[in-house]
Amino acid sequence: MYPVYLSIHRILFRFMIQYIDKIQGLIKEVDGAENAPWINVYPPFEHKELDQLAKTLDIPLDFLTDSIDVDERSRFEKDEENILILINSPVLNDEGKDSEAIYITIPIGIIITPLHIITICSDDNPILDNFFGNKVKGFNPKDKKLFVLQIFEQNVYRFLECLKKLNLKRNLIEQELYHSSRNSELQQLLRIEKSLVYFVSSLSTNELLKMKMKRIDLLKLEDDHEFVDLFEDIIIDNSQALEMSNVYTNILSGTMEAYASIVSNNLNVIIHRLTMVTIILLVPSMVASFYGMNIKFLPFQNSPFAFPLIILGSLILGYALVNYYSNKE
């Protein structure tokens, strides 16, 4: 119920900053940054408010603006005691066009300061909604290291969930293609293919980010074996999602190529049949055109059986041509 209330709250009041804490096992909004271990920033964005927030929390403004740039790649950046982590996450595409991808990927900005952890995204994100809905086991915004790892974990789960939906949709469309060859099914396959391209690119950069974070121990996890194991499991799950994306992309590419071959073969069959019909009709038309000439000495000119003989001869010639070309193939 909390995400629904939160969405209504945003629409009515259009606030863009939430100060959040976990009190008695429940996620609640509190007054002021001094009482909030977690600060969530969401659209609509106003530059003045972002600038004011950056000054209030003593963080670079670029940390906030980079996080809402949909073209930003996954990376991390340090500025004194502040750390920015950008990780790409899948969301439904709001374009609503048949030519656009079903899913795109946008960055989630995670800013770690000595007193707070700040999340910011250019659109409402189901991953953060899981935390608002208290659906993440063991979530505590005061534990910054665990919070970051849980965002990574939920992000990978989101990728896997979207991949399963795309694969199911692909299977359903393939079944439709067996019985029809409408453009709508091909457009849907193209949208799935575009989504998978986004996924492969984002999962690759996410994996590089996590490997680099692990190598330099950005989150200072080396003293906590439980967190180290969790981080390694997340990296493994990310690799699995990347492999699934590549497999689904290859399957879809093979499907599109096979279907293109089937369409081409069917077109050849249709053209072959039309050619046969054309040959059959061409010979009688040619004979009829000769007998339509106003000249003397045409065969059967004075015969009472001229018409049936000419028709029969034309059909025999047409059949002979069709039989000849059929045997040649």
* Encoded tokens for 304: 């009472």
pLDDT digits (tens, 9 = 90+) for 70-113: 999 999 999 888 999 999 999 998 876 667 899 999 999 999 99
pLDDT grade for 232, boundaries at 50, 70 and 90 = very high
- Which of 80, 76, 84 has the alpha carbon at shortest distance from 214? 76
CA–CA dist 48, 54 (Å, integer): 10
Model pTM? 0.79
Q: Which residues contact residue 47 at a Cβ distance below 8 angstroms, ignoring those fewer than 6 apart?
A: none
Q: 3 pLDDT band (50/70/90 cuts)? A: very low
Pairing of strands 26-29, 117-121: unpaired
Give kind and range of the element (H or E) at residue 23: strand 17-23
Domains of the chain in sequence order: 2-264 (3.30.460.20), 265-328 (no CATH)
Say how far apart CA 322 and CA 305 lie, in whole Å: 26
